[in-house]
Structure 1
Amino acid sequence: MALATSRPLFAAIDVGTNAARLEMARLGPGGLERVLKEREAIRPGEGVFARGTMSSEAVDRLVDTLRRYAVLCRRHKARVRAVATSALREARNQTKVLRRVLEETGLELEVVSGEEEARLICLGVLHRTPPRERSLLVDIGGGSTEIVLATGERPQGLWSLPLGAVRLSQHFDTAGEVTPAQLRRMREDVDARLRESLPGFVPRLPRVALGSSGSIRAVVEFAAREGGEASASPAQLTRAVEALARMSPRERREHFEERRADIIVAGALLLERVVQHLGVERVLAVKRGLRDGVLADLLSREELAARPGTAPLLRRAAGARGA
């Protein structure tokens, strides 16, 4: 793939619980244009929520992947921001992992807080949203769930909960067959945590929540498979949870890739309970999220660093387009 250009390249690296991802983009007439996208399902958070530390095998996989990503970024002279979320936030060996990543790849991997993660998701999903429009975002990761209430592009409320599809799956052992008693215990546990962590809730919430993670997209597509839409109602989500719980692991793999299938029951139940708690009518799956926010943040930093008297990059691009 030819990436040569006089315009700067921006690179977002995201180390989550399930995978490490790289996206590169450059500024084009219509905004940021993706030029490269990679994902490695290396499970960086494997064992973290059970043992409290990242295993040596997971660290090896992470370093190998980030070394390759760093080579790509240097080759194309990209401005890079590399972030890690809940798995590394909670790993007791976080300092050792970050030091090894820096020494062996040259990347400064930044462990972001749950609030910063939510802010970046908001920035990524709501770019160019009308300034008075209210939005409600939900992002379910492997180890945490972020909820953002925003007006325009600006977050008004940020909540990060230590609830994720991998964490919940490991705690309740949902990779195999799931009994009705397990489902009941999971719902009770998640409901109690939501009541503790979220307000009761904010009045005048949007009727539709935007779901920005891969887990949410997979669950919504399954729940709405009869209608072929990218949105699902609370009732559809409940039916999806019940259907997925009744399936054997082999049957789930007929609908989802293997690593997603292992955590899909927990992810679906978590989305169901969050939507019920928020009282919204539907959840709409969107394709933008954390990495889009990192890229937008890099662009914003580039604009702020521009010399006095020089038009910001977005304004220059718009001027060139209208010329």
Structure 2
Amino acid sequence: MVKRGARGGGQIAAATRAGVFAVADIGSNSIHLLVAVSDGVRQETILDESLPSELGRLVERHGEIGSRAAREVGAVIRGFADRAQRLGAMQLSVVATEPLRRASDRKEALRAIADASGQTPSVLSHEEEGLLTVLGLLHGHDHSRRLIVADIGGGSTEVVLLHPDQDPRTFGVSIGSARLLARIDYADPPRPRDWHELRRAAQVALVDIPRQPRGRLVLVGGIATRLLKLVPSTMLTREILREDLAAMGEQLARNPAKEIAEQHGISPRRARLLPAGIAIIEALLHQTGADELVVDHGGIREGLIIASARRGSSWRGQLTELVGESRLAGA
């Protein structure tokens, strides 16, 4: 069992016999469950589902999650664990991202989740989240050139810079699609002044990301994959040209979220976040100087499947090594 890179020259052997692994990801907008079979190199999805979450909104407005919401999250995780077990997973790995990083009542919320579910989530740092995202990329990428991997979430954006022969550099920015919507509270559809405010806020948030001229910007996450639906041809290539991005923005400027949702098979709740996502993507392109933009359908959960298969419960201390192995295979 091997995984071949974008150029076909590298490979890494499977770390273990194939098994069924399950991960749950507690985020700002949703709580995800992924169950997959993996040998530590390859993976195939058995189940991928999510439920909406208001954790990002709660933390943005009140600074905390609260006991009621935490118990509700625990009930969701308990249901996920039962589902994963029925599908053959030996255990469920649970991680949490931006809302649990920021919540003033994090300890209390984690305790309430554990009491309700029997699972204590691991709260990921920005660096861990970024490295798991790189590890979870599903499509071949040329690691002989500069890569900028960006995961646009609801509450934060993780950016990982990958240069040949250098260790990854990770940046965590506390701006995401839902958080930007809460901050700007733009109209539906956004007015010209709303677009100006969105773009300005995104550019200010990303100002510390170093320039990466002639780099390839690789987007992961729901915002990126949903935007592809607005220009269907991009779903085949996974490449977004400047004119594609402009066409996406024009649709979002003309049509309210309900119409976007009906026309493109997106939930209205998700469609409402797309203008903020466009603004963050534009800011990433401007700030980094990348000259190519592609979307990868992998991400943090796929990375956690690989990490769990290769390193078991000790994956947290070995992410840089795991990413290094993966990059060598893709060289």
Using a 3 Å threshold, how does the CA distance of structure 1 residues 239 and 74 change in structure 2: closer, same or farther?
closer
Q: Does structure 1 residue 25 correspond to structure 2 residue 32?
A: no
Mapped to 1, the partners of 2:270 and 2:156 lie a distance apart of: 16
Per-residue CA deviations over 1:164-202 (Å, capped at 9, x if unaligned) read 00000111113633211121122122212222x212x13
Percent of aligned positions with the same letter in both sequences? 26
Q: How many residues align?
A: 295
Mapped to 1, the partners of 2:76 and 2:165 lie a distance apart of: 33
Specify which of 249, 274, 278 is matched with residue 268 of structure 1: 278
TM-score, normalisation: structure 1: 0.81
Letter in 2 for 1:186: L
Using a 3 Å threshold, how does the CA distance of structure 1 residues 248 and 265 change in structure 2: closer, same or farther?
same
**Structure 2 residue aligned with 1:240:** 248
Specify which of 205, 211, 230 is matched with residue 193 of structure 1: 205
Residue pair 2:154, 2:179 contacting (<8 A) in 1 also: yes
**Which moves more between the two structures, 123-132 or 102-111?**
123-132
**Structure 2 residue aligned with 1:148:** 160
Specify which of 221, 235, 239 is matched with residue 231 of structure 1: 239
Specify which of 23, 29, 37 is matched with residue 12 of structure 1: 23
5+ residue gaps in structure 2? 1-16, 316-331
Specify which of 14, 34, 59 is matched with residue 70 of structure 2: 59
Q: Which has the larger radius of gyration?
A: 1
Q: Does structure 1 residue 295 correspond to structure 2 residue 302?
A: no
Q: Does structure 1 residue 111 correspond to structure 2 residue 123?
A: yes
Matches within 5 A, 1:34-113: 34-56=45-67, 58-75=69-86, 76-113=88-125
TM-score, normalisation: structure 2: 0.79
Residue pair 1:234, 1:276 contacting (<8 A) in 2 also: no
Per-residue CA deviations over 1:40-72 (Å, capped at 9, x if unaligned) read 123332321122112555334312211101223
SS at match of 1:24: strand
SS at match of 2:46: strand
Residue pair 1:217, 1:285 contacting (<8 A) in 2 also: yes
Residue pair 1:42, 1:61 contacting (<8 A) in 2 also: no
Using a 3 Å threshold, how does the CA distance of structure 1 residues 221 and 281 change in structure 2: closer, same or farther?
farther
SS at match of 1:46: helix
Residue pair 2:257, 2:271 contacting (<8 A) in 1 also: yes
SS at match of 2:57: coil
Using a 3 Å threshold, how does the CA distance of structure 1 residues 55 and 80 change in structure 2: closer, same or farther?
same
Shift of 1:86: 0.8
5+ residue gaps in structure 1? 1-5, 306-323
Using a 3 Å threshold, how does the CA distance of structure 1 residues 48 and 130 change in structure 2: closer, same or farther?
same
